[in-house]
Amino acid sequence: MDAILTYFRGSLEELRHVRWPTRQQAVRLTIIVLIFIVVNAFALAVIDSALTAIIDFIVL
């Protein structure tokens, strides 16, 4: 039980050292991540469509 309490005390102590982003930084980074996700989803959709067309051409 003492080891668990020591772990949580250490975790809380480390959280005091964290430098949290400002609201503006968090919003900016969130937008960057969302743009990255959309671009990657589009790229994967294009690749998937191309591979599907190739396979359909080979099979049919």
SS (H, E, C) the chain: CHHHHHHHHHHHHHHHHCCCCCHHHHHHHHHHHHHHHHHHHHHHHHHHHHHHHHHHHHHC
**Band of the pLDDT at 60, cuts 50, 70, 90?**
confident
Please tell me whether the overall predicted TM-score, pTM, comes out greater than 0.75 for this model.
Answer: no
Three-state DSSP class for residue 53: helix
Nearest alpha-carbon partner for 47 in 59, 55, 35, 37: 55
- At 2-55, the pLDDT tens digits run 899 999 999 999 999 999 999 999 999 999 999 999 999 999 999 999 999 999
Query: What would the two tokens of residue 56 be?
Result: 């359909």
